[in-house]
Chains A and B, each alone.
Chain A
Amino acid sequence: MKRDTVGKRLLSLTVNERTQQHAVADNALLLDVLRETLGLTGTKQGCDGGECGACTVLVDSQPQLACITLAASCEGRHIETIEHLSTHGRMSRLQQAFHEKLGTQCGFCTPGMIMAAEALLRRQSNPSEAQIREALAGNLCRCTGYVKIIESVQSAAGAGR
């Protein structure tokens, strides 16, 4: 693929409630735009495309893998990254729970894991363990064995909104 032959266009992207225009290649991936253009490095890359879930962000509250999403496909939609969850100096209940319950060890899968869990809690405020497992099945963690991740999500759900 020769990048210099790919067209660019001015894309209006709404990321974490902030709408900005960026000159973005037609084939640019959302992950690269978030990390490289916007400097939002909280979203991680852990694989060669769609394997690990570390890059999970929310697009209109739906979990989506930024590494296999074209930035151009997100125009007019609201993108949320991990940086959006803690505003006004307060962590979200999921962030608080992942921290206190040790749902994070090395932390590399954590942003994606929390975003996938956030999407779950938005549509199901009190999920069953089976629902948690289903919702996070696309997010690999190599540290925790997932036990404390499940406890973290349950704790956050129990804390209510």
Chain B
Amino acid sequence: MSTAHRTDPGDAALRGEPAPPRHTGAVGQRTPLIDGIEKVTGRARYTADLPFGQALVGRILRSPVAHGLIRGIDAAAARAMPGVRAVITGEDFAAPYGVIPIAQNEWPLARDRVRYRGEPVVAVAAIDEATAEAALRAIVLDIEPLPAYFSAAEARAEGALPLHEKKVGNIERQVEQDFGDVDAGFVAADLVLERHTAYAEVAHGQIELNAAVAAYEPEWERLTTHSVTQVPYYLHLTLAQVLGMDASRIRVVKPFVGGGFGHRVEPLNFEMITAALARAAGGTVRTQLTREEGFLTHRGRPATDIRLKIGMKRTGEITAVDCEVVQRGGAYGGYGLVTILYAGALLHALYRLGAVRYRGFRVYANLPPCGAMRGHGAVDVRHAFESLLDEMAGELGLDPFALRRANLIGAPYRTLNDLQVNSYGIPACLAWAEKASGWKERRGKLPRGHGLGMACSHYVSGSAKPVHWSGEPHAVINLKLDFDGSITILTGASDIGQGSSTLLTQVVAEVLMLPMARIRVIATDSALTPKDNGSYSSRVSFMVGNAALRAAEELKRVLVTAASVRLQVTPEEIEWEGERCAVVGTDKSADFAQVVEAALADSGTLTVKGVWSTPPETQGGKFRGAAVGSTAGFSYAAQVVEVSVDEDTGAVKVEHVWAAHDCGFAINPLAVEGQVQGAVWMGMGQALSEETQYHEGLAIRPNMLDYRIPTIAESPPIDVHLVESLDPLGPFGAKEASEGALHGFPPALTNAICDAVGIRLGELPATPDRLLEAIHLRRREQRQQARRAAVASAAPAPALAAPASALDARASGQSMSAAASSEAAHVASGGRPVAPGGAR
């Protein structure tokens, strides 16, 4: 049902540098996950599965009010209940928190004021669920309601009450960035189009429910927390801060984690609440949230309004971009200022752009806080951009592929906003997607209601500047070698299903030329493993992979030296073969056990370290906010989506996806394919059916039935092609593979819908109701046009009769301007290519 392909681009121009030396061992092999057997057999223990005996049960009382002043909390009756061991409020915390050090305005339990329905206010720990729930019912909240705002426009309106001090107009962050002469760029353009699009808020929907277990040892004043986090290190720092504890008294462990997608890339309130309950109760507390509470914890992709204007030469060359983005960020900061900066930064680095103006507004509202979600900050903007390119291609009579090719950059390349592109596989991605999908033969020739659409996208391989700028290396790996000849990789990198522990094993096995079975991974236990910033911004393969590469090289150096001592030759004479090493040109050799014995003889148990940091030239420019978007390596992707649209119901079926992804080098092609398929598919959910919804601030879709994640029944075959542009900085040339393909799906889909039925929605997701409304609207407009035409035909005829509809325009092979538009839809030209050169 799906095929996967993989080729080197074979074009030296696609590579920044000559290919690094590569062995033929563990990397590049399709490798099942090293922890896969535990997962398929049910032996894998996730946080909720951990055996902690009779732990106390933690429960959270949440605000029923969207915005209000906390006048009083009467918990006396709850505290007095038998079996209740702790009742805590915001007063039990030492400090507020926030993942961005300069934007910490959230308390684990609300203090003084609540800002969204569902915000945690009080928490209890009790001997069992029934007692905990009874205690919650016995608590009386006295909250004086304040005016509440559920849209960015309401929150920004004059006279609106600020949710946070000093945040006039509820603007959390305003971004103004200008690169190049935008106005001149528009003057130089042959075609300028501007569009508005509104994007619904979406959520991560990882299948594992949120859970945490915290054990407090009063005698030692120590805390151990197991949680579902993607960022154990940030959680560690945050627990110390909000609990007012010395970080050395805290241990954070990440067990198996059932998906993240960004929901868990910042420390979350329930983790802090569980820890505080454990301390207050002097014992072990287990908290498992409901699915509904997962939606309230949220941190999803914000509802976003985008106004985008692009200027273009007749040839398709982009002369100017002017983009305004408004994000409804919810009640607290979270990653918000990063999200609004990403939206602007990643306008760049995919195409050559003449000039770019960006205005971004991150707005507070009385809703659950948004955060980082897969494709952080750049997904909606990429949709707006690629949709407008598609529309402009239609206007200019250019094929959408040709339009992209008219704007390619060549690595190495410095963008207008000082981002560094060192490898760029887009040409190869385009070539494969075009060919595999049969684009040239099929586009414009499919039956009515069927369409093809394409789009490109890109993403960072880790943020080049860490959130906490401590000056430390970006990634550290320790390798332990002991008497038994086993090698243990000690890493703080959070494997949340993407396969990072497998990748690190492959890298170490490759360098040392040893079988993977000799290598174990111990990950994410702050008492054992080196600090790692976490699994976000697709940083792990690139950064931790590079650290693992260097650690393995160091261990190899130590072992080769030991072998040379044992064999009484110089290290240069040793030929390293992993399980055995030999002296070049002789029959002298030693097996691995003998080399290990020699290596340990002097030093005992060996621990070596590998570190890696992003080079300064990849860390972005000097302007305010320049760090966001900066990365050591951009991934690139191009995809084609085929759809069929039922014009009687508005239902869209995705028939097939062809996705090409430039991952630099596929260390584990099996896992990379899985990541690309998952990313494309997650883009499909956002594009077709997923959206949160609130009524007066009340979440009304906080479950997996109403929040419509696609099922297997409606999920298409996704063919994946891996392009290997061999990034000069990536480990073995590798770059990210789990996010970049997401961004391209929504625009490729809506471009395909436009190809199928000639309608471009002004909103996402393209749900049947929205599409049907647009179809009906167009029919009404067509009838009105027909009536006007009938009246006009009675009068002297105009010089040129307008086609009755965009579809008719397509059918007759004419191009037409996107004149007809409404709030719901743009009835656009289908983007059908005319003969090459026809528009020039």
Residues of B within 8 A of A86 (CB): 41
A147–B207 CB distance below 8 A = no
- Does B261 touch A at the CB level, under 8 Å? yes
Measured CA separation A5–B763 after assembly (Å): 51
Residues of B within 8 A of A99 (CB): 32-33, 36-37, 39-40
B45–A41 CB distance below 8 A = yes
- Does B256 touch A at the CB level, under 8 Å? yes
- Does B674 touch A at the CB level, under 8 Å? yes
Min CB distance, A2 to chain B, in Å?
7
Cross-interface CB contact of B1 among A3, A52, A83, A151, cutoff 8 Å:
A151
Residues of B within 8 A of A137 (CB): 711-713
Residues of A within 8 A of B709 (CB): 140, 142
- Does A144 touch B at the CB level, under 8 Å? yes
CB nearest to B711 among chain A residues: A137
B32–A102 CB distance below 8 A = yes
Measured CA separation A131–B38 after assembly (Å): 27
- With contacts A47-B703, A142-B207 taken as known, whether A104 is within 8 angstroms of B39 at the C-beta atoms is yes
Binary A-proximity of B225-265 (CB < 8 A = 1, otherwise 0): 00000000000000000000000000000001111110000
- Does B678 touch A at the CB level, under 8 Å? yes
B130–A83 CB distance below 8 A = no
- Does B704 touch A at the CB level, under 8 Å? yes
Cross-interface CB contact of A145 among B129, B204, B678, cutoff 8 Å:
B678
Instruction: Give residues in B with beta carbon < 8 Å to A.
Output: 1-2, 32-33, 35-46, 48-49, 51, 129-130, 204-209, 256-261, 290-292, 496-499, 670-671, 673-674, 677-678, 680-682, 684, 703-705, 709, 711-713, 715, 717-718
B291–A47 CB distance below 8 A = yes
Q: Which of A58-66, A69-77, A109-117 contacts B (4 or more CB under 8 A)?
A: A109-117
Residues of B within 8 A of A145 (CB): 677-678, 680-682, 684, 715, 718
Measured CA separation A94–B42 after assembly (Å): 13
Measured CA separation A147–B39 after assembly (Å): 18
A144–B674 CB distance below 8 A = yes
B704–A147 CB distance below 8 A = no
Min CB distance, B506 to chain A, in Å?
14
Measured CA separation A39–B677 after assembly (Å): 34
Measured CA separation A85–B46 after assembly (Å): 20
Measured CA separation A102–B668 after assembly (Å): 11
Chain A 96-152 interface residues, beta-carbon cutoff 8 Å to B: 96, 98-100, 102-111, 114, 129, 132-134, 136-151
A106–B497 CB distance below 8 A = yes
B499–A51 CB distance below 8 A = no
Min CB distance, A111 to chain B, in Å?
5
Measured CA separation A98–B32 after assembly (Å): 9
Cross-interface CB contact of A102 among B205, B259, B670, B718, cutoff 8 Å:
B670
A100–B259 CB distance below 8 A = no
Min CB distance, B707 to chain A, in Å?
9
B2–A98 CB distance below 8 A = no
A139–B291 CB distance below 8 A = no
Which among A44, A98, A103, A107 has the greatest number of chain B C-beta atoms within 10 A? A107
Q: List 18 A-B contacts (CB under 8 A).
A: A46-B209, A47-B703, A48-B703, A82-B42, A83-B42, A85-B41, A99-B32, A102-B674, A106-B257, A106-B260, A106-B497, A107-B497, A108-B497, A109-B258, A143-B259, A145-B682, A146-B715, A148-B677
B705–A51 CB distance below 8 A = yes
Min CB distance, A91 to chain B, in Å?
6
Residues of A within 8 A of B46 (CB): 44, 108
Cross-interface CB contact of B259 among A35, A91, A106, A114, cutoff 8 Å:
A106
Residues of B within 8 A of A35 (CB): 49
Rank and list the top 7 A-B pairs by shortest CB-CB distance, nearest first. Answer: A42-B42, A106-B497, A145-B681, A108-B258, A107-B39, A82-B42, A51-B704
A105–B291 CB distance below 8 A = no
Residues of B within 8 A of A41 (CB): 42, 45, 48-49
B711–A104 CB distance below 8 A = no
Measured CA separation A114–B499 after assembly (Å): 20
Measured CA separation A144–B258 after assembly (Å): 12
Measured CA separation A99–B49 after assembly (Å): 21
A109–B207 CB distance below 8 A = yes
Min CB distance, A117 to chain B, in Å?
11
Residues of A within 8 A of B497 (CB): 105-108, 143
Residues of B within 8 A of A81 (CB): 42
Min CB distance, B31 to chain A, in Å?
9
| Apart from the given pairs A54-B207, A110-B40, A145-B678, 12 other A-B contacts in the complex at a CB distance below 8 Å | A45-B209, A46-B258, A47-B703, A83-B41, A86-B41, A105-B259, A137-B712, A137-B713, A141-B712, A142-B682, A145-B715, A146-B712
Residues of B within 8 A of A51 (CB): 291, 703-705
- With contacts A2-B130, A45-B48, A105-B498 taken as known, whether A91 is within 8 angstroms of B41 at the C-beta atoms is yes
Measured CA separation A95–B430 after assembly (Å): 37
Min CB distance, B808 to chain A, in Å?
36
Interface of B is mostly: loop
Residues of A within 8 A of B678 (CB): 105, 142-145
Interface residue tally of chain A, by bracket? 35 or more
Min CB distance, B741 to chain A, in Å?
10
Cross-interface CB contact of A44 among B208, B671, B712, cutoff 8 Å:
B208
Chain A 28-46 interface residues, beta-carbon cutoff 8 Å to B: 35, 39-46
- Does A17 touch B at the CB level, under 8 Å? no
Residues of A within 8 A of B204 (CB): 142
B496–A106 CB distance below 8 A = yes
Residues of A within 8 A of B712 (CB): 132-133, 136-137, 139, 141, 146, 149-150
Measured CA separation A102–B207 after assembly (Å): 17
Residues of A within 8 A of B1 (CB): 129, 147, 150-151, 154
B261–A142 CB distance below 8 A = yes
Cross-interface CB contact of B208 among A4, A102, A108, A151, cutoff 8 Å:
A108
Which among A41, A100, A132 has the greatest number of chain B C-beta atoms within 10 A? A41
Residues of B within 8 A of A85 (CB): 41
Residues of A within 8 A of B290 (CB): 48
Min CB distance, B481 to chain A, in Å?
28
Min CB distance, B642 to chain A, in Å?
15
Residues of B within 8 A of A132 (CB): 712
Residues of A within 8 A of B671 (CB): 102
Residues of B within 8 A of A139 (CB): 712
Residues of B within 8 A of A129 (CB): 1
B261–A104 CB distance below 8 A = no
Residues of B within 8 A of A95 (CB): 37, 40-41
CB nearest to B37 among chain A residues: A99
B713–A47 CB distance below 8 A = no
Min CB distance, A30 to chain B, in Å?
16
Residues of A within 8 A of B2 (CB): 147, 151
Residues of A within 8 A of B718 (CB): 145, 147
B42–A111 CB distance below 8 A = yes
Min CB distance, B709 to chain A, in Å?
6
Residues of B within 8 A of A149 (CB): 712
Min CB distance, A27 to chain B, in Å?
12
Measured CA separation A86–B43 after assembly (Å): 11
Residues of A within 8 A of B499 (CB): 105
CB nearest to A145 among chain B residues: B681
Residues of B within 8 A of A106 (CB): 39, 206-208, 256-260, 496-497
CB nearest to B40 among chain A residues: A95
Min CB distance, A94 to chain B, in Å?
8
CB nearest to A111 among chain B residues: B42
Min CB distance, B208 to chain A, in Å?
4
CB nearest to A148 among chain B residues: B674
- With contacts A3-B130, A133-B712, A140-B704 taken as known, whether A104 is within 8 angstroms of B33 at the C-beta atoms is yes
Residues of B within 8 A of A52 (CB): 207, 291, 704
Which among A102, A109, A144, A145 has the greatest number of chain B C-beta atoms within 10 A? A145
Measured CA separation A103–B677 after assembly (Å): 12
Residues of A within 8 A of B42 (CB): 40-43, 81-83, 111
Min CB distance, A3 to chain B, in Å?
4
Binary B-proximity of A1-29 (CB < 8 A = 1, otherwise 0): 01110000000000000000000000000
Measured CA separation A54–B704 after assembly (Å): 12
A141–B713 CB distance below 8 A = no
